[in-house]
Structure 1
């Protein structure tokens, strides 16, 4: 990477790969601005919609349409924003071209010649650089699933650890950790106990960093910690960007692992299909949003708007691929999987009814966040397998807790918020929550949203029951006509099919296959064969259709996939 220091403390970057990586992070994170280069020119917020490496950028200026004419007239503007604690700005942008996108103001521009970055100052720590890989195993309790992370800094009193953002709902500030297991490349290990003191998402929302205070380490542990802190500082001085490689390496980091097992990979990189890997960006957003909500923030309207446009764009582009991909997000928390699945299917149903695009977008947005209020409840309450009256009332508070965080999302229609957020858990017979509304008080949107929500929820495990196949769910809906709207239950089954896309089926010849496409009558048109009943780490066959599909024989039944956690 070539970097040139400029007069105002910005460092110039002209390496194409580094520029691409920074711009893609700005695209995913949001918060981009256009800055005019003329004196006293304003800065205006925009959405960086797409980064086509080496060719062009696409920006959405719908909220500031007047700026578009200035750009087309040749005025000099540049892109700016924050990425991973780094202030970013581009070379002057040019060759603006307006795109034809219904209801939006979007322009494309040429790829910038270079970027400039300026870092925030921070206090010194015994900090590990990218060449120093120390694995950390984090476990809350004796029976809890451990998380594998990477050590980022270390002191005598605590450490900072980086984990995948999907661990965020389980790790709360103030929570005690039974075990922090540090594993250095040379095989040395140290186990400590601690308590989470703070946490934050990285700017790309792919990873979570939390700071942990150690719980009264003994004298022997303190001596080892002091040794590790000094060795980390020494190795950092040797192997950092401006280090002296001629120095002897620290014994802790010899030999260095060629595989770098603790290095974090972009979230979703191992998901089963290309569309699932694209949809992982939405999961990153929701994981990060949940952390922000837990820290007291409201939902940012521009971020929510961008991610709705992203999902609806994918649905418009490859509907069947998206319907399959929602089943592939196996490394994300069930709450996040549920929100994405409900938003995808409810948006698809709304589009099938010919609703206006703005209304479909409001429905999509409300569905994306409709259940995130559960992340604001005590974890013990959410995991309970039986409620008394007091616990049931406390659990119902997840609805108003989320509703109040939508205060700044004024572009959402109030009727949609009411139907998809406030009334999705109500039932026709008055047995729902939070208000116990009955059939005469519920509109059509609340009725169809409840059907989509219940069908997806019944297909996932809960503390009080196991997950069910879609055929079992459909059968049980027949007995719940007093609670759920019969018309919308039938419409759902007709629209998505009795064996929907994403179902795992067993053929009479013995093969297992994931349903990937259906014909207009709901018959299976294409499958992907697999050797395991799970999409975690799965290798799928090429698409099977036509004569090859017929050779597999008739379907013997729908198979319940193995749990994803």
Structure 2
């Protein structure tokens, strides 16, 4: 089991898996080895390194009386700011950004597929391989925050693993902006999102794609993917402690019910608390083998009911990213019109732009038009969310995205 500890907690018999920081910062020619000499511990102390990763399956763990703090939250960013991060550029039209975002999703999916294949084969990878795409995702979120994160939900079950990484990357960055984190940490959050599930590359495909419920033994195999992924990233020696920490701890829960270390509260780093929300949201809103997708609106409502699982402040910030009425939600207006949410209002969660297309009173289609519920001249408002299944509508995502969505992926690079 991988565990991050402070240098002050080192003792003879521990197995050093990796040092936090550059390979040039430590005095050893190798990065992982069994500590069998007190002089080696003195050298590590003298190097100025603050933290490192140990493998408790190959060496000693922390003393029992030092638990329960099995993972030291890495480099916790400053306290979350209450105000929203200012946008330095005006939004462009949602329809225009959807075109940019579609191409960007396809290119990022291809890059993730290539990077994961390299990691699976033990080939060295570098953050620079995808850092330019993360910068482009940041630009897309600045131009219009709804386009890319809404499009990424439209993945097929066959491309789930790779597009899930793209989606969580965008969600992590959007959330980081909402929490007013510095630009450098926003980009690092995106890198963590892209790589958080890399350990699943080593899980048998038949297990990942199994439609029926997993057996206890199968679930135990699946639960090993965070530690497998963290080891893969540590072995490359090119990714930051925050990125590795998210890979290892994105399934931890604030109430201690998660895995692999059953951390609770602020024992879980800020980035991993963010990833828990983003990963869960994209998982439940994605169609997977044998598992139908929830709508974004249903996902937000159900996640809000899971008391104790998520950091409340982070979850509330996440809701402000996605919206109470997320893009693609079917809503009933007080006028009796049914509409699909097109995009969020910049300051109000209750007044999105909506494309109306059906009369619930007449039970028939009406002329489609987009209304801005925030406009003073618009004397209508949302009465509530409606079930797509109840009305039997098909292809509603085409109404807000403007994209023809069939059974094939919309994220092909060809």
- Contact 2:202-2:228 within 8 A present in 1 as well: yes
Distance 1:340 1:552, change over 3 A: farther
Which structure's residues are more often helix, by fraction?
2
- In the other structure, the counterpart of 2:308 is 482
Q: CA deviation at 1:377?
A: 1.3
The separation in 1 between residues aligned to 2:113 and 2:369, in whole angstroms, is 31
- In the other structure, the counterpart of 2:385 is 557
1:392 and 2:229 aligned = no
Which structure's residues are more often strand, by fraction?
1
- Contact 1:346-1:452 within 8 A present in 2 as well: yes
Structure 1 segment 217-236 matched on structure 2, within 5 A: none
The separation in 2 between residues aligned to 1:295 and 1:552, in whole angstroms, is 57
- Contact 1:340-1:368 within 8 A present in 2 as well: yes
Out of 234, 241, 253, the residue aligned to residue 414 of structure 1 is 241
1:351 and 2:183 aligned = no
Tell me the secondary structure at the aligned position of residue 343 of structure 2. Answer: strand
Q: CA deviation at 1:395?
A: 0.5
Out of 149, 153, 159, the residue aligned to residue 323 of structure 1 is 149
Distance 1:555 1:272, change over 3 A: farther
Distance 1:406 1:292, change over 3 A: same
Q: CA deviation at 1:411?
A: 5.6
Structure 1 segment 110-121 matched on structure 2, within 5 A: none
Q: CA deviation at 1:304?
A: 2.4
CA deviation string 1:227-267 (max 9, x = no partner): xxxxxxxxxxxxxxxxxxxxxxxxxxxxxxxxxxxxxxxxx
The separation in 1 between residues aligned to 2:357 and 2:106, in whole angstroms, is 22
CA deviation string 1:461-515 (max 9, x = no partner): 4457532233433333344223222332223223432112343446565554242
Tell me the secondary structure at the aligned position of residue 214 of structure 2. Answer: coil
The separation in 2 between residues aligned to 1:376 and 1:473, in whole angstroms, is 29
Distance 1:449 1:477, change over 3 A: same
- In the other structure, the counterpart of 1:423 is 249
Uncovered stretches (5+) of structure 1, i.e. residues with no partner: 1-270, 532-540
- In the other structure, the counterpart of 1:439 is 265
CA deviation string 1:24-78 (max 9, x = no partner): xxxxxxxxxxxxxxxxxxxxxxxxxxxxxxxxxxxxxxxxxxxxxxxxxxxxxxx
Uncovered stretches (5+) of structure 2, i.e. residues with no partner: 1-96, 359-367, 389-393, 396-404, 408-414
Distance 1:475 1:542, change over 3 A: closer
How much is the aligned-residue C-alpha RMSD, in angstroms? Answer: 3.6
CA deviation string 1:538-565 (max 9, x = no partner): xxx8865468995887455255586975
Distance 1:496 1:298, change over 3 A: same
Tell me the secondary structure at the aligned position of residue 277 of structure 1. Answer: helix
Out of 203, 227, 243, the residue aligned to residue 377 of structure 1 is 203
Distance 1:464 1:430, change over 3 A: farther
Distance 1:492 1:290, change over 3 A: same
TM-score, length basis structure 2: 0.58
- Contact 1:527-1:544 within 8 A present in 2 as well: yes
TM-score, length basis structure 1: 0.44
Structure 1 segment 142-291 matched on structure 2, within 5 A: 273-291=99-117
Distance 1:529 1:336, change over 3 A: farther
- In the other structure, the counterpart of 2:342 is 515
Tell me the secondary structure at the aligned position of residue 344 of structure 2. Answer: strand
If asked which structure has higher relative contact order (CA below 8 Å, sep 6+), I would say 2
The separation in 1 between residues aligned to 2:329 and 2:124, in whole angstroms, is 36
- In the other structure, the counterpart of 1:167 is none
